[in-house]
Structure 1
Amino acid sequence: MRVSHLSAALLVALGLSWSSATLASETRIPDSVVKDATALRDRALQDNTSWKIVESLTSEVGPRLAGSEGDARAVAWAKAKFKALGYDKVWTQDVTFPKWERRSEHGEVLGRSSQELKLTALGGSPGGTVQGEVVRFDDLKALQAVKPGSLKGKIVFVDILMPRARDGHGYGIGSTVRRAGPPAAARAGAVGYVMRPAGTDWHRNPHTGMTRFDDQTPIPSASLTNNDADQLARLVALGKTEIKVALDCGFNGMYTSQNVIGEITGTTKPDEIVALGGHLDSWDLGTGAIDDGGGVALTMAVGHLIKQMKIKPVRTIRVVAFANEEQGLFGGRVYTESQQKDIRKHQMVMESDSGPGMIYAFGGNWAPEAGAAVKQMYDVIAPLGIAYEPLKGSAESEMGLMQARGAASAAFSHDASLYFDLHHTPDDTLDKIDPKALKQNTAAYAAVALMAANAEGSLGSGPEIAKPER
C-alpha cells in the first residue's frame, strides 16, 4: 500500500507511526503458505513422530521429578532428541530451585476402625509422623476463618469434591484447596493436613501436586484418594476419628536443571521467533505421559515435520522443553525474564500442558490488526473439528507468562474430561494417550506455527496487548 508524503506527515502529526497505520493491511498469510500449512496438517495426521517421542521419553527416562536422577536423564535425552530430529540449533538455560524429595508415605485410621488410608505427600510438604483427631471441613473459607491456634493437635481434613468438566475448570477448585489448605491448617494450629484430591477419578490412586506455606511452620500434608476421602468422611460422621500420617519427604538443598531449547532457524527473519513448548519435568508417581510428555513430544515433532517437508520458515521456530513447571514454573520464569527485552520479537507463543486430548477450540491473544491472519490460521485447522474462539484462552503455563508480558499467543482448548482422572497420579502412563488425539494436536500446532512463522506482518506482540495468564 502506498501512502503519500502528505499522508505520512499527517500521521506523524497525529502521533501515529507509519507501521501502526499500515500494519492492518500487511498482516496476512500468503496463499502459498496456507497451501504448505494444509499439506503439513495432513502429513501430521498420518505421522507417528509425536508418539515415538513420548514413547521414548516415558520408557527410556520414566518419571522426572524436578531435581531427581530422572530430571538429569531427561535433560540429556532432550538435547539428544532435538539433534536427532534435525533441529538446527540446540541450547540450554540453567534453572535453579529448591530440591524436594519423596521417600516414603503411609496413612492409617487408628482405634475402633483401624485400616490403611491411601495417600501421597503433597509437594513442598515436610516429613514427619503425626496423629490426632480429624476435623473435617467441606468449605475452604470456613477453615481459613478458624481462630489461629484453635485446632492445636488436630489433623485437618478438607473434603471438597472437584467436578469433572471438558474445559477442566474444576481444577481451579482442587488446586486452590491443595495450595491454600495446608497453610490455613498450620495457622489454625493443626499438626497435619489431608484433603480430598484435586482429581476426578475413583481409583485408589492419590493425586500429588505442589503446596506452599507462607510464614507458618510447615506441617505434614497429603492427598487422599476420592475413595479414601469418602471412607474418612463416613467415619468422622460416626464419631471421633483419629488418624496417623507418616511422611518421609522434604526439601534437600538447591538443584540446577536446564531448559532445553531446539530451533529451526528462520530464513530471512531469524531473530523473530515463533515459540512452542511443554514441560520436561513430571511428578514421580507415574511416567509423566499426559503431564507433560505428550506436550513435549508434539511440540518437538512440529519442527521435525517442517524440516522433513523441506518447508522454509521465514522466522525461527523455537521449541522449549521447560524445567520444573510442576513446583512453580521455574523454567518458564527463567525463559520469560531472559526474553523480556525481546517480547516484540516473539511473533507468537503457544504451549501444550493440559493433556493431549482432542482440541475442540482455538483462540489466543493478538493485536486487532492481526485478526484476519489468525482467521486464516483457523480456517486451516477447522477441518480437525476445532471451533473458533477469538481472543479467548491462554497460551498455558510457561508460555502464559510470555502472554502476560505481551506476546501474541495461540490458545488450544483440549478436552480435559478424563485428564484429571490421571493428572499427578500413578496412572499417568503412556497407554493413556490416544494416538489419534495426539496426531490431531500435532497437526493443529504445526499448521498454526508455520503460518505464524511465515505471516506477512506482525501479530502484534508488545506490552500493549499484555493479557494475564488465567
Structure 2
Amino acid sequence: MRMIPMQQSFLSSPIRILLFIGVFMITTKGTTQKTTSAKQDSVIVKKIYNASLLEGKSYEWLDYLSNQIGGRLSGSLNAQRAVEWAEKELKELGLDKVWLQSVMVPKWTRGVTEFAYIETELGKTTNVPICALGGSVPTPIGGLKAPVIEVKGIEELADLGTEKIKGKIVFYNRPMQAELIQTFQAYGGCVDQRYAGAKEAAKFGAVGVIVRSMNLRQDDYPHTGAMSYGDLSNSEKIPAAAISTNGADLLSAMLKLNPQIKFNFNMNCRLWKDVESFNVIGEIKGTTYPNEYMVVGGHLDSWDLGDGSHDDGAGIVQSMEVLRLFKKIGYKPKRSIRVVLFMNEENGLRGGKKYAKEAKEKGENHVFALESDAGGFTPRGFSFDCDEANLQQIQSWKPLFAPYLIHYFEKGGSGADIGPLKKEKGIVLAGLRPDSQRYFDYHHAANDTFDAVNKRELELGAATMTSLMYLMDTYGIK
C-alpha cells in the first residue's frame, strides 16, 4: 500500500479542508460565547456590588431590627414585632408575593437576671457572671448551693460515677480549641456539653450544671444557647447555666486550691406552652422556569441577651437585600426566587422544618438554597452541600469573585434552616462563609449588638450572596 505524504493528502482533499474549517469555527464560536458570557457576568456582578455598597439598605434595616425591636426569642412579643416589620418591608419592595407561614414554636422566658457566686467559706463569696441556658428549668426559690466537680467533657461522668457526682453541681470546662482556624469546628468540638450536659449529669445524681461559654475570647460575657433534657421527666430535670470564660477560669483555679468550695446560682426561667409564630416569605416569580424555586434566607429569631445583630439579624437583612438588589439593577430572574425569614432556629428549628414540609406537600421543586447565619463579618466565600458536578460549575465562577477578594468555594455544611430541604438529588445547598475569627466573641451573648457590625462588611456580604444567586439562576444546576 502506497503511503501518501500528510501535506499532499491534506491539500488534495477538499472534504478534509471543509471538516477542519467546520471544527475550527465551532471551537472558536464556543470559546467566543464563553468569553462573552463571562464578560456579561462580570458586568452584572459589578453592578450588584456597586448597588450594595453605594445604595444599600441592609445596614439601615439592621439598625431598625436591632435598635427598635431588639432581641427576638421565639414566642416573644419582640419576635412578633419582627414578623410584622419584615412583612411590611418586603411588601414595600414590590415583590410578586409576600406572605406569612404559620408555625408553632416553643416559648421560654429567662425571668429576672441570673445571679451566682463562689463561696470559699461561710460569708466569703466572689460573684461570677452566668446566664441560663435556653430551655433550662429554674433553680429552687432562693437559689441552689452545692459543692462543685469539674470535668472536661461528658465522657468523664461515667468514670467518676454516681458516688462522686450525686448532690453536686457538674462544671463542664472544656474550652473551644484555639488552634483550630475553622472556628465553627472548634465550636462543634465542645457544644455537646452545653446541649446535653444537664441530661447526662442528671443521670448520675447531679443537682445542677455550669458550662463554660462557647467563646474563644477571655471576657465576662456568659453565652447562652439551646440545651435539651432528652426524655428526662420533669422531676429529673436540673438547672443549667453558662459561665463566662473569665468566670470559668476563676472557678477552675479556686477548685484546685480548695476542692471543697461551693457554687450558688439563682435562676427564674420558665418554659410555657407552644405559641403561634410565622416564617415571613417574599417571592419574585421566575420568567422562564417559574416552578423552579431558589431560596435565600436567615433566621428572624434570636436569643434575648443582646439584640441579635450578628446572629442572625445580619443574615436576615442580607437575604432581604438580595431581592431588593435584583429589582434595583433591573434583573429579572429565570427561576422563582424566595426570601424566607425563618422563625425558631435557635431553640427548635420549627420554621425550617415547617417550610420544607409544606414545600414537599405542595410538590414544589426547590433547586437551590442559600443561608446566611454566620455573622455580618467580611465575606470569604461559601460552603456547599452538593455533588461534584455542581461544585465544579460553581468553582468555575471563582474568577468573577476574585476582584472582591472572595476565594472560598468548598464542600461543607450549608445552614440549619435550609437543611430540611435536602433531598437525594436535584438541589444545591450553600452557606455564606464570612471571616469567623470574631464570631464567637458575640455568639449568643449580651454583646451581640448593632455596634458590633461593620456597615461595609455587611454590604459586601449581601452583594456576594446576590452574585451567587444570579449565577445559579443564570446557569441552573447540573
What corresponds to 2:116 in structure 1? 107
For residues 449-460 of structure 1, the aligned pairs below 5 Å read 449-455=469-475, 458-460=476-478
1:199 aligns to 2:215 (yes or no):
yes
Contact residue 377 and residue 447 of structure 1 kept, 8 A:
no
Which deviations, in whole Å up to 9, do the C-alpha atoms of 1:397-445 show, x marking residues without a partner?
Answer: 2113323664212333221101101111110001111222112111110
What corresponds to 1:70 in structure 2? 78
**Aligned-pair distance for 1:140?**
2.8
Contact residue 301 and residue 343 of structure 2 kept, 8 A:
yes
Identity %: 32
SS in 2 for 1:45: helix
Which deviations, in whole Å up to 9, do the C-alpha atoms of 1:311-370 show, x marking residues without a partner?
Answer: 111111111110010002111111112223678722211100011212223341344544
Contact residue 383 and residue 414 of structure 2 kept, 8 A:
no
Mean Cα deviation higher: 188-197 or 130-139: 130-139
Count, aligned residues: 431
For residues 376-455 of structure 1, the aligned pairs below 5 Å read 376-390=396-410, 392-403=411-422, 406=425, 407-455=427-475
**Aligned-pair distance for 1:115?**
1.8
Q: Which amino acid aligns with 1:296?
A: I
| RMSD of equivalent CA atoms | 2.2
Structure 1 residues 187, 39: closer, same or farther in 2, change over 3 A?
Answer: same
1:141 aligns to 2:155 (yes or no):
yes
What corresponds to 1:219 in structure 2? 238
Contact residue 212 and residue 243 of structure 2 kept, 8 A:
yes
Q: CA separation in 2, counterparts of 1:246 and 1:193?
A: 12
What corresponds to 1:183 in structure 2? 199
Contact residue 156 and residue 194 of structure 1 kept, 8 A:
yes
**Unaligned stretches of 5+ in structure 1?**
1-26, 461-470
What corresponds to 2:23 in structure 1? none
SS in 2 for 1:256: strand
**Aligned-pair distance for 1:279?**
0.3
Contact residue 108 and residue 271 of structure 2 kept, 8 A:
yes
Q: CA separation in 1, counterparts of 2:385 and 2:268?
A: 44
Structure 1 residues 424, 29: closer, same or farther in 2, change over 3 A?
Answer: farther
Mean Cα deviation higher: 205-214 or 143-152: 143-152
What corresponds to 1:15 in structure 2? none
What corresponds to 2:288 in structure 1? 268
Q: CA separation in 2, counterparts of 1:397 and 1:148?
A: 36
**Aligned-pair distance for 1:175?**
1.6
What corresponds to 1:84 in structure 2? 92
**Aligned-pair distance for 1:201?**
2.4
Q: CA separation in 2, counterparts of 1:377 and 1:339?
A: 29
Structure 1 residues 232, 363: closer, same or farther in 2, change over 3 A?
Answer: closer
**Aligned-pair distance for 1:97?**
2.5
**Aligned-pair distance for 1:257?**
0.8
**Unaligned stretches of 5+ in structure 2?**
1-33
Q: CA separation in 2, counterparts of 1:335 and 1:82?
A: 18
Q: CA separation in 2, counterparts of 1:423 and 1:404?
A: 30
What corresponds to 1:171 in structure 2? 187
**Aligned-pair distance for 1:38?**
3.4
Structure 1 residues 275, 111: closer, same or farther in 2, change over 3 A?
Answer: same
Q: CA separation in 1, counterparts of 2:289 and 2:444?
A: 40
